[in-house]
């Protein structure tokens, strides 16, 4: 009898899932090339909500979109003034923090996403940062995370745009996410969430490849694969640039 009930549940689960709301989405581009003239880009994220039955009544449908860059460890330092100079007094190492993170939504995140769902899916920027054990490294450890958030936001690498996702007739949605010029290489994760009453009812993930091309890629590969040659080349460029500036100054001087 138990086996029959378990088999019935397995067969019923796909059918129940098909009756819900599912995301069908696409990206305007799935690859970004960083060249010497790269000044940033913009990704259009669009899609629709697929339903096998009429939309549920009650809590309205909301959409949240996140774009996340490769995660890196971060060292955050705090400076204090001692004897008239600023010196580093404390530091913490944050295990992983996204190099880029943008979150856009149809409304205020506090109203359309519960804390439980945020903790589960790590949707908001603070939840995307992993800072385990920093309390043992310095006093007031949470202030170091706040400082990282402030620094990355000021640099245009973290952003939160509530109301930036357009939702039409509870079916079609779109959002434009700006990618700044100071991106790093790697795979960027795009996630789309549907929520009702603060609960995630469906999620979809896509990837965007960000790669350096042309001279940018050539010099980057040389720096890592042939550091001696890269150093000599940088020295030659510096000497030539200095000589050229001096020659130009002599010509312009009366």
Q: What's the CA gap between 13 and 107, in Å, rounded?
A: 31
Residue 100: closest CA among 131, 128, 120: 128
Class of domain 18-212: mainly beta
pLDDT of the residue at 88: 64
Q: What's the CA gap between 68 and 189, in Å, rounded?
A: 5
Tell me how far CA of residue 94 lies from CA of 139, 148, 227, in angstroms: 14, 9, 28
90 Rama class: left (phi>0) / alpha (psi -120 to 50) / beta: beta
pLDDT of the residue at 2: 38
How many CB atoms are closer than 10 A to CB 145?
18
Q: What's the CA gap between 140 and 116, in Å, rounded?
A: 25
Going from N- to C-terminal start, the domains of the chain cover: 18-212, 214-254
Residue 35: closest CA among 139, 162, 181: 181
H helix or E strand, kind and range, residue 46: strand 41-51
pLDDT of the residue at 36: 75
pLDDT of the residue at 76: 84
pLDDT of the residue at 9: 35
pLDDT of the residue at 224: 57
pLDDT of the residue at 18: 39
Length of the chain (residues): 254
pLDDT of the residue at 60: 93
Residue 218: closest CA among 210, 230, 231, 236: 230
Per-position DSSP letters for 117-177, written without gaps between them: HHHHHT-SHHHH-B-TTGGGTSTTHHHHHHHHHHHHHHTTSEEEEET-SEEETTTEEEEEE
In the chain, DSSP finds a helix count (H) and a strand count (E) of 7, 12
Q: What is the pLDDT along the chain (254 residues), one digit of tens a residue?
A: 433 333 333 334 443 333 589 999 999 999 998 887 788 899 999 999 999 888 888 889 999 999 999 999 988 887 767 766 766 677 788 889 999 999 999 999 999 999 999 999 999 999 999 877 776 666 777 888 888 999 999 999 999 999 999 999 999 999 999 999 999 999 999 999 999 999 999 999 999 999 887 655 555 555 555 676 657 666 776 777 777 676 666 776 66
pLDDT of the residue at 1: 43
pLDDT of the residue at 10: 36
Residue 67's DSSP bridge partners are 102, 190
Q: Enter the pTM of the model.
A: 0.75
pLDDT digits (tens, 9 = 90+) for 135-160: 666 677 788 888 899 999 999 999 99
Q: What's the CA gap between 202 and 103, in Å, rounded?
A: 17
pLDDT digits (tens, 9 = 90+) for 86-121: 666 777 888 899 999 999 999 999 999 999 999 999
């Amino acid at each position: 009898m138990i086996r029959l009930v378990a088999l019935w549940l397995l067969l019923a689960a796909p059918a129940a899932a098909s009756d819900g709301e599912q995301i069908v989405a696409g990206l305007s581009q799935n690859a970004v090339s960083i060249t010497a003239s790269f000044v940033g880009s913009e990704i259009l994220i669009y899609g629709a909500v697929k339903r096998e039955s009429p939309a549920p009544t009650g809590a309205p449908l909301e959409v949240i979109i996140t774009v996340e860059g490769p995660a890196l460890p971060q060292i955050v330092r705090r400076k204090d003034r001692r004897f008239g100079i600023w010196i580093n007094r404390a530091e913490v190492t944050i295990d992983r923090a996204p190099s880029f993170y943008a979150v856009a939504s149809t409304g205020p995140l506090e109203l359309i996403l519960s804390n439980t769902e945020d903790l589960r899916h790590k949707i908001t920027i603070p939840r995307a940062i992993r800072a385990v054990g920093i309390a043992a490294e310095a006093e007031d450890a949470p202030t170091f995370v706040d400082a990282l958030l402030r620094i990355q936001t000021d640099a245009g690498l973290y952003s939160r745009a509530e109301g930036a996702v357009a939702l039409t007739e509870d079916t079609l949605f779109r959002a434009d996410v700006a990618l700044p010029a100071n991106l790093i290489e790697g795979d960027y994760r795009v996630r789309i969430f549907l929520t009702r009453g603060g609960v995630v009812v469906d999620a979809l993930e896509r990837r965007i490849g960000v790669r350096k091309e042309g001279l940018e890629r050539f010099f980057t590969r040389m720096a890592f694969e042939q550091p001696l040659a890269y150093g000599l080349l940088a020295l030659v460029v510096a000497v030539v640039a200095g000589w050229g500036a001096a020659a130009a100054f002599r010509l312009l001087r009366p």
